[in-house]
Amino acid sequence: MSHNPHKDFFKNVHEVVQLIPPGRVTTYGAIAAYLGLKSSARMVGWALNEAKHQSHIPAHRVVNRQGLLTGKQHFSVSLSMEERLRQERVQVINNQIQQFEKVFWSPEELEVVTE
């Protein structure tokens, strides 16, 4: 059994991302903080990079702190990050999520739901 800490972290990221409701988005930092590694937001991006080949993980619902689609380069041209979000009625203009505060979802909300 190889207990690689970062592998577990990646797996946890995948699980959290799958819980983001359609039509909502969260941030790299919010996921990192929820998993107890507040200063490792960059690693969330790495984890999503691996998730790229797993279509059931909605990586397009993760944006940066400002609501910008900084990870758009990692999505196919045929179905871009922006298009995936639009399909869920999330407004995007110039890579910027509109009404970001309203669309933002935090993993912290899970505490309420699971109780």
Partner DNA sequence: CCAGTGACGGCTA
Partner DNA sequence: TTAGCCGCCACTG
Residues that bind DNA (CB under 7 A): 5-6, 27-30, 32, 37, 39-46, 48-49, 51-52, 59, 62, 64-66, 70-71, 73-75, 81
Closest approach of DNA to the CB of residue 88, in Å: 15
Q: Of 6 and 86, which CB lies nearer to DNA in the complex structure?
A: 6
Closest approach of DNA to the CB of residue 111, in Å: 19
Q: Of 38 and 99, which CB lies nearer to DNA in the complex structure?
A: 38
Q: How far apart are CA 31 and CA 13, in angstroms?
A: 7
Print the SS3 string covering 35-85: CCCCCCHHHHHHHHHHHCCCCCCCHHHEECCCCECCCHHHCCCCCCHHHHH
Closest approach of DNA to the CB of residue 115, in Å: 26
Q: Of 13 and 115, which CB lies nearer to DNA in the complex structure?
A: 13
Q: Of 52 and 115, which CB lies nearer to DNA in the complex structure?
A: 52
Task: Give how far the C-alpha of residue 67 lies from the chain's centroid of Cα atoms, to the nearest Å.
Answer: 11
Of how many residues is the chain composed?
A: 115
Closest approach of DNA to the CB of residue 41, in Å: 3
Axis crossing angle, helix 5-17 with helix 41-51, rounded to the nearest 10? 70
